[in-house]
Amino acid sequence: MPLSAYFSRRFASALLTYPYSIMVRGFRSDAALEAIRKASENKTPNLVLYNYPSFSGAYGALFAHLYHCRLNLPCLILPFSAVAPFSVEDLCIEGMKTCYFLDFLGPKGFALELAMRTTSKVIGFDHRKSVFSQISPREDSDTNISFFVNIEKGSSTAAYEYFSAKLSETGCDNGDKMSLLNQADRERVEMILKYIEDGELQKWSLPDIKPFNIGLREWRSKLNCITNSCMYQQLMEICSMDLIMKGSAYLSHRQIDASKLLHKVFRVRLGRGFYGECLGVRADGNSDFSDEMGMELSRRSAASGLRPIGAVIYMQRNNLKMCLRTVDNSTDTSEVAKVHRFG
């Protein structure tokens, strides 16, 4: 299968992801399995599974929720965790016609088995290049499976565009095309999607992307729609500027605390002087602030006419560690780190 920036099973795209701290609570729980049982009893035709605890998955679930609500279509939405995943057997819902995978494509062969067992359509969205190798030839050729994989677009953005287009094509409100979001909500939510995409594609190009991500991370524990019935409304109300302000305040406090630890600063000869000199400090017991301390030392080093590098040295498990940081984009600290064999 050729690798392309925009890949879609059978070119269906013409119609139009985690080192996380994961809580197992809520996955394959009595509540989740009971919801599946009721969906089977009611012959619910639509099932939506979203990657947890992924913001892209959660926002994809929001758009699926809005789409089905706008058209009054029965739908069951569940978080899917790799830690305690549902089995195909769990998801064999009587009467199911369509199952969406949002921000993941499932374990290898999972979509194919589900499609065969339920005779339903499986539609998946992902942005990770690694998933190409997980798509089997049978999944690629099955007419009931459509995978949308775009390594240049966030999964939540792809889901947003998909459900928006689908709603516009099928729904009308007083003669006008229906939309997932009103104008006020659209501007706010689309800005959130841009920031999420910037991070998950590792572009880091948007202004204040770091404080945004810091402000956003406190919401991660609220992305389980089983244990948090207000998830959709909360996601709708999140504002990028509020997150940036919160993240910036956090970074500012961290920098102030780190600066207080910068006493007894000394010069460090990098590579026995081959790479010049910079300022360093011992930070035993305070290695959590190594990034902030290193960046501040880098600025002070540059101001002192030394290499724009900050060295934070500390003991960790009886090993001496040195963390190198720089505020200069043209300075490569990895070469120095290799010489010292420090991280």
DSSP one-letter string for 223-271: --TTT-TTHHHHHHH--HHHHHHHHHHHHHHHHHHHHTT--S-EEEETT
Q: Are 149 and 103 in contact (CB under 8 A)?
A: no
Q: Which residue has the tokens 């729904």?
A: 171
- Rounded to whole angstroms, how far apart are CA atoms 169 and 71? 12
Q: What is the pLDDT of residue 7?
A: 39
Taking CA atoms, 163 is separated from 65, 78, 79, 96, 301, in Å, by 10, 17, 18, 19, 52
Residue 292: C-alpha distances to residues 166, 223, 260, 261 (Å)? 47, 30, 11, 10
User: Taking residues 135-158, what's their average pLDDT?
Assistant: 94
Rounded to an integer, what distance in angstroms lies between the CA atom of residue 162 and that of residue 183?
Answer: 18
pLDDT in the model for residue 11? 35
**Which DSSP category does 288 fall into?**
G
User: Does the pLDDT of residue 26 top 50, yes or no?
Assistant: no
Instruction: Give residue 329's pLDDT band: very low, low, confident or very high (50, 70, 90).
Output: confident
> Alpha-carbon distance 287 to 90, whole Å?
45
Which band of pLDDT confidence, cut at 50, 70 and 90, is reported for residue 338? confident
- Dist. CA 187–CA 190, nearest whole Å: 5
In this structure, the strands spanning 309-316 and 319-326 are: antiparallel
Domain boundaries, the chain: 6-249, 266-340
Instruction: Please give the mean pLDDT across all residues of the chain.
Output: 89
The model's confidence at residue 4, banded by pLDDT at 50, 70 and 90, is: very low
Structural tokens at position 168: 């516009």
Q: What digits encode the pLDDT tens for the residues 306-316?
A: 999 999 999 98
pLDDT at residue 272, rounded to an integer: 85
pLDDT band of 297, cuts 50, 70, 90: very high
Q: Give, in words, the CATH class of 6-249.
A: alpha beta
Residues 180-185 have a mean pLDDT of 93
Q: What pLDDT shows up at residue 242?
A: 98
Q: Classify the phi-psi angles of 256: left when phi > 0, otherwise alpha if psi is within -120 to 50, otherwise beta.
A: alpha
Give residue-wise pLDDT tens across range 71-105: 999 999 999 998 889 999 999 999 999 999 999 99
Tell me how far apart the alpha carbons of residues 64 and 162 are, in angstroms, rounded to a whole number: 9
pTM recorded for the entire structure? 0.81
